[in-house]
Amino acid sequence: MTEEEEKRIHRYEKRQKRRRRELMKRLVCLVGVILLAAAVIGGISYSVSKAKKNQAREAAAKAKQEAVLKKEKEEKEAEIKKQKEEEKRAADNTLTPGVPVGSDTASTEKTVYLTFDDGPSQNTQPILDILDQYNAKATFFVTGINQDYGDLIKTAYDKGHTIGLHTFSHSYQQLYASTDAYFDDLNQIGEYVKQKIGFVPCFIRFPGGSSNTVSASYSQGIMTTLSQAVQEKGYQYYDWNASSGDATGSNVPKDTIVAEGTSCEYTNIVMLLHDAIGKETTVEALPAIIEHYQSLGYAFKALDRQSFDAHHGIWN
Ligand SMILES: [Zn+2]
């Protein structure tokens, strides 16, 4: 091999080496670029998915917060609505001279207005429990006789029953002595009830009903006078068109009360019952009376301003 040839080969090898190095450099560069690109893409996609996850988490948290706020708002609105309804009920039940109360015609809806006189007593709570059990509302014409049980007036009112005024003393001799004597007694029971539920109700029931003739022994014509006078003062009196028969004595047999208490066929039934001492059999008879009328499609309601007042004829 000539020197010239050796030099050529040497130069050739050198070139080749350079090329390989160049190639290697490029390769390394390319791999570097690919790796960098992968890292960048990976990084971006990681950031994107992280951002997406954050967004989803934030959206979920926001939705949860909104749901909580919505529920709170609904609860508050329901509470305000209930409060307004209660205020309306109290206003409707309050003695307001000049605003009429009661209706002399029955409605067309099959309704039983159970009315309990002469309580509260130890028999009132069991009656409230039975009414709850049958989801029935009723009316209590209360007295001031048995004040140990006076707080049941509020219990009954809070359960949605109507409170009416019967008499403070339930002494015919005392309250039918004169018009003034009657109103003294009525004001007394009105104030007593106001202490319990915050207002004087406009619903009343005369002891013995407006048709009683016992009052004639104490004051001639007093029922004629009172039946007008109470309405002029903003009250309405409620008599009854059905009796449970429990007024005829203490603890009338349960079966007698059930038989009489289920015999009425009016569309609007205003039934006389008692929740005083000695009326334990009324408590026992009550479920059968309620079941009878519920099976016939009657609703059990508390008296309100629009209810049928079931006035009797007046004989004194
Ligand atoms: Zn009575």
Distance 299 CA to ligand 1 centre (A): 25
Are 269 and 121 part of one and the same domain?
A: yes
Q: Domain residues for 190?
A: 111-300
Are 188 and 144 part of one and the same domain?
A: yes
CA dihedral 7, 8, 14, 19 (to 10 degrees): 170
pLDDT in tens, 216-266: 999 999 999 999 999 999 999 999 999 999 999 999 999 999 999 999 999
Are 210 and 290 part of one and the same domain?
A: yes
Q: Averaged over 271-282, what is the pLDDT?
A: 97
Residues near ion ligand 1 (CB < 5 Å) are 117-118, 207
Dist CA 10 CA 24 (whole Å) = 21
Distance 120 CA to ligand 1 centre (A): 11
Distance 207 CA to ligand 1 centre (A): 5
Are 203 and 268 part of one and the same domain?
A: yes
Are 18 and 50 part of one and the same domain?
A: yes
Distance 220 CA to ligand 1 centre (A): 20
Note the residue count of the chain.
316
Are 78 and 210 part of one and the same domain?
A: no
Distance 25 CA to ligand 1 centre (A): 115
User: Measured between alpha carbons, how far is residue 132 from residues 136, 154, 196 in Å?
Assistant: 6, 15, 21
Distance 282 CA to ligand 1 centre (A): 15
Are 67 and 129 part of one and the same domain?
A: no
Closest CA to 91 of 234, 238, 240: 234
Structure confidence at residue 29 (pLDDT): 74
Distance 235 CA to ligand 1 centre (A): 18
Structure confidence at residue 44 (pLDDT): 75
Is it the case that residue 10 has pLDDT exceeding 90?
Answer: no
Are 119 and 73 part of one and the same domain?
A: no
pLDDT in tens, 154-199: 999 999 999 999 999 999 999 999 999 999 999 999 999 999 999 9
Structural domain contains residue 14: yes
Are 2 and 121 part of one and the same domain?
A: no
Distance 143 CA to ligand 1 centre (A): 8
Distance 7 CA to ligand 1 centre (A): 141
pLDDT averaged over every residue in the chain:
95
Structure confidence at residue 68 (pLDDT): 95
Are 144 and 257 part of one and the same domain?
A: yes
What is the 3-class SS of the chain, one letter each residue? Answer: CCHHHHHHHHHHHHHHHHHHHHHHHHHHHHHHHHHHHHHHHHHHHHHHHHHHHHHHHHHHHHHHHHHHHHHHHHHHHHHHHHHHHHHHHHHHHECCCCCCCCECCCCCCCEEEEEEECCCCCCHHHHHHHHHHCCCCEEEEEECCCHHHCCHHHHHHHCCCEEEEEECCCCHHHHCCCHHHHHHHHHHHHHHHHHHHCCCECEECCCCCCCCCHHHHCCCCHHHHHHHHHHHCCCEECCCCEECCHHHCCCCCHHHHHHHHCCCCCCEEEEEEECCCCCHHHHHHHHHHHHHHHHCCCEECCCCCCCECCCCCCCC
Are 115 and 32 part of one and the same domain?
A: no
Distance 189 CA to ligand 1 centre (A): 13
Distance 169 CA to ligand 1 centre (A): 10
Distance 65 CA to ligand 1 centre (A): 57
Dist CA 81 CA 90 (whole Å) = 14
Closest CA to 137 of 105, 101, 104, 89: 89
Task: Name the pLDDT band for 16 (thresholds 50, 70, 90).
Answer: confident
Distance 55 CA to ligand 1 centre (A): 72
Q: What is the pTM of this model?
A: 0.82
How many beta carbons lie within 10 A of that of residue 115, not counting itself?
A: 28
User: Per the structure, how many domains does the chain have?
Assistant: 2
Q: Are 218 and 177 in contact (CB under 8 A)?
A: yes
pLDDT in tens, 95-129: 999 999 999 999 999 999 999 999 999 999 999 99
Q: What percent of the chain has pLDDT over 70?
A: 100
Is it the case that residue 52 has pLDDT exceeding 80?
Answer: yes
Q: Averaged over 34-49, what is the pLDDT?
A: 79
Task: Name the pLDDT band for 45 (thresholds 50, 70, 90).
Answer: confident
Structure confidence at residue 206 (pLDDT): 98
Structural domain contains residue 315: no
Is it the case that residue 2 has pLDDT exceeding 80?
Answer: no
Distance 119 CA to ligand 1 centre (A): 9
Structure confidence at residue 69 (pLDDT): 96
User: Which residue, 63, 93, 123, sits at the end of a domain?
Assistant: 93
Are 248 and 143 part of one and the same domain?
A: yes
Distance 84 CA to ligand 1 centre (A): 33
Task: Return the structure tokens found at 146.
Answer: 């048995």
Is it the case that residue 278 has pLDDT exceeding 90?
Answer: yes
